[in-house]
């Protein structure tokens, strides 16, 4: 077989089988009881990289043995050729049948051209599309004109703390002319989109306490500021009535939405609205009135309350006055916002508005990532666009994605150029029940990566 495109087409069924094999491994990075599964997947990926003909592959353990990296290299194009780095993550979010799954979350199930499984879209789709594209190249007579590095992370879903330290300590291991960050979603099964921005993130926990222990609400109620009530009062003051974040300083460094953004994102709006109607389906749209849906989702920062906990929530009633309550909060950031500075603004604001009737305390997970914005007119994105057009037969539109891939900003420091290639869908329900992909997107993704490697090799990257 002398052509990688053809090779990929003739091996679709085997590729799908292998993808399903990876999906069965419960690579939940946030749950320590799955550390062995994460480690097993890293070894599985290393073995695969060697099997498909990469020169070297290794598993790099992270501190405390957590969430290893699987790295692979092929240097057959020679020293003078450019190097492309492909990054994906193989860890996944937790999943339980009770969350609302119609099938076993870790048993891949194919139905009507779709594959259902935790990790199907986020992000084993990307791991496998890219590895199978590399395999298709290395199995062909015609070899790639670029050297290839593959970095597969096992800790993305829990904040990427260790990989960033690894890059900082060994920048040469990830250095490349082009880094392809492969994660996220396109707009519709037959409408590819090219992600030219990702939001950053910062996180904190707010703990509120008042009495030293849970109390009888009859004995003491009316004399103590209930921590759940105090927490709610604080949380209610983090946004104004127009949907904007009311933390002083929060918007200080926010890069403006430019006329170019507006023009590009306008094309995305109908697709995103359709996705919103399907996936979100809330009674009404909410948010900053001055910005349309794609701008709210990709170009504006947010503050989100992710969870709140306190008191008694079991069966029956319990007349308790709880001792404590807490909330988990994250902020999505846009270019120029510094995660630490934003975190400080939020903390200072909460300290200012917190009543003196309760104690407040903060916990920080150490998670922080800056937003990225790529040059849509750059050579790398032009090649990526051409690769999508080749694989889908339709030109991509340009989108700023709302999610975060913490390594991206770090990659920009060690790579000449960066692109983000996504093959999943928002309606693929990443992080939720019934996560799925369209099988066709897997096959198209493989063709797109093959083409991208081709174009970069021709010096078009
Ligand atoms: N695949 C997502 C990132 C993503 C989501 C990119 C939507 C583009 C659009 C990734 O796996 C993810 O979920 N990242 C986390 C990072 C966090 C845990 C630091 C996120 O965005 O919440
Ligand atoms: Mn994810």
How far is it, in rounded angstroms, from Cα 361 to Cα 341?
Answer: 18
- Ligand 1 center–CA 184 separation, angstroms: 7
Average pLDDT, the chain: 96
Residue 444 pLDDT > 70, yes or no? yes
- Of the chain, the end-to-end C-alpha distance in Å amounts to 26
Considering the chain, tell me which residue range(s) the CATH 3.40.630.10 domain(s) occupy.
4-198+372-458
CA 157 to centroid of ligand 1, rounded, Å:
7
> Which residue's CA is the nearest one to ligand 1's atom 4?
403
Residue nearest ligand 1's atom 16 by CA? 404
396: buried, middle or exposed (CB in 10 Å: 19+, 13-18, 0-12)?
buried
User: How far does residue 410's CA lie from ligand 2's centre (Å)?
Assistant: 18
Specify the domain boundaries for CATH 3.30.70.360 within the chain: 200-254+301-369
Query: What superfamily does domain 4-198+372-458 belong to in CATH?
Result: Zn peptidases (3.40.630.10)
Q: Report the percent of the chain where pLDDT is more than 90.
A: 91
Q: Ligand 1 atom closest to Cα of 89?
A: 11
Nearest to 89 by CA among 36, 125, 137: 125
- For 37, 44, 69, the CA distances from 33, given in Å and listed in that order, are 9, 19, 18
Question: Residue 1 — very low, low, confident or very high, per pLDDT cuts 50/70/90?
Answer: low
| Ligand 1 pocket, residue 68 CB under 6 Å | no
CATH 3.30.70.360 fits 200-254+301-369, yes or no: yes
49, two tokens: 């990289």
Assess whether the C-beta atom of 403 lies below 6 angstroms from ligand 1.
yes
Using the mean position of ligand 1's atoms as its centre, give its distance from the Cα of residue 437 in Å: 16
Is residue 45 within 8 Å of 70, Cβ to Cβ?
yes
> Scanning the structure block, which residue is given the tokens 């953004």?
261
Radius of gyration of the chain from its Cα atoms, rounded to whole angstroms: 23
84 touches ligand 1 (CB under 6 Å) = no
Instruction: Give pLDDT, residue 239.
Output: 98
Q: What is the pLDDT of residues 35-87, one digit of tens each?
A: 999 999 999 999 999 999 999 999 999 887 788 999 999 999 999 999 999 99
Select from 435, 12, 397 the least CA-distant residue to 188: 397
Closest ligand (CA of 421): 1
CA distance to 20, 110, 310, 441, per residue, from 16 (Å): 6, 11, 45, 12
Q: Considering every ligand atom, which ligand is closest to the CA of 430?
A: 2
CA of 403 to the centre of ligand 1 (A): 4
> Does ligand 1 have an atom closer than 6 angstroms to the CB of 297?
no
Instruction: Specify the ligand 1 atom closest to the Cα of 157.
Output: 18
Residues 194-245 have pLDDT tens digits of 999 999 999 999 999 999 999 999 999 999 999 999 999 999 999 999 999 9
Q: Which ligand is nearest to the CA of 156?
A: 1
Task: In whole angstroms, give the CA distance from residue 105 to residue 297.
Answer: 28
Predicted confidence band at 461 (pLDDT cuts at 50, 70, 90)? low
Atom of ligand 1 nearest to the CA of 199: 21
Query: What is the DSSP code string of 337-403?
Result: --HHHHHHHHHHHHHHHS-TTSEEEEE----EE--EE--TTSHHHHHHHHHHHHHHSSPPEEEE-SS
Query: For the chain, how many residues are written?
Result: 461
164 Cβ below 6 A of ligand 1: no
């Amino acid at each position: 077989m002398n052509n990688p495109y053809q090779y990929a087409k003739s091996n679709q069924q085997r590729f799908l089988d292998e993808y399903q094999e990876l999906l069965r491994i419960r690579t939940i990075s946030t749950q320590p009881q799955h550390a062995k599964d994460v480690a097993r997947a890293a070894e599985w990926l290393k073995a695969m990289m060697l099997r498909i003909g990469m020169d070297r592959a290794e598993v790099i353990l992270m501190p405390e043995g957590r969430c290893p990296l699987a790295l692979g290299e092929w240097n057959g194009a020679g020293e003078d050729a450019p190097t492309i780095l492909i990054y994906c993550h193989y860890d996944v979010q937790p999943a339980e049948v009770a969350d609302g799954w119609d099938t076993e979350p870790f048993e891949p199930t194919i139905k009507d051209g779709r594959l259902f499984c935790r990790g199907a879209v986020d992000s084993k789709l990307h791991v496998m599309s890219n590895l199978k594209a590399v395999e298709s190249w290395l199995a062909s007579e015609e070899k790639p004109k670029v050297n290839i590095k593959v970095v597969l992370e096992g800790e993305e879903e829990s904040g990427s703390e260790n990989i960033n330290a690894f890059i900082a300590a060994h920048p040469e291991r990830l250095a490349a002319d082009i880094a392809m960050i492969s994660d996220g979603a396109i707009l519709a099964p037959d409408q590819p989109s090219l992600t030219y921005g990702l939001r950053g993130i910062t996180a904190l926990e707010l703990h509120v306490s008042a009495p030293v222990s849970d109390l009888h609400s009859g004995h003491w109620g009316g004399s103590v500021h209930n921590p759940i009530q105090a927490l709610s009062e604080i949380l209610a003051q983090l946004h104004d009535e127009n949907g904007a974040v009311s933390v002083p300083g929060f918007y200080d460094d926010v890069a403006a939405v430019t006329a170019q953004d507006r023009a590009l994102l306008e094309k995305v709006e109908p697709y995103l609205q359709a996705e919103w109607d399907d996936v979100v389906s809330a009674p009404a749209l909410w948010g900053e009135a001055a910005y349309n849906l794609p701008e709210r989702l990709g170009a504006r920062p947010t503050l989100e309350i992710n969870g709140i906990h306190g008191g008694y929530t079991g069966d029956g009633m319990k007349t308790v006055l709880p001792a404590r309550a807490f909330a988990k909060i994250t902020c999505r950031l846009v270019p120029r916002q510094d995660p630490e500075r934003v975190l400080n603004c939020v903390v200072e604001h909460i300290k200012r508005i917190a009543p003196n009737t309760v104690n407040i305390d903060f916990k920080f997970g150490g998670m922080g990532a800056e937003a990225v914005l790529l040059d849509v007119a750059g050579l790398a994105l032009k090649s990526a666009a051409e690769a999508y057009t080749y694989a889908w037969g339709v030109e991509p539109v340009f989108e700023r994605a709302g999610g975060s891939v913490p390594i991206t900003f770090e990659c920009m420091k060690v790579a000449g150029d960066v692109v983000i290639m996504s093959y999943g869908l928002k309606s693929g329900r990443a992080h939720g029940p019934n996560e799925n992909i369209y099988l066709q997107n897997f096959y198209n993704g493989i063709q797109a990566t093959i083409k991208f490697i081709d174009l970069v090799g021709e010096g078009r990257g």
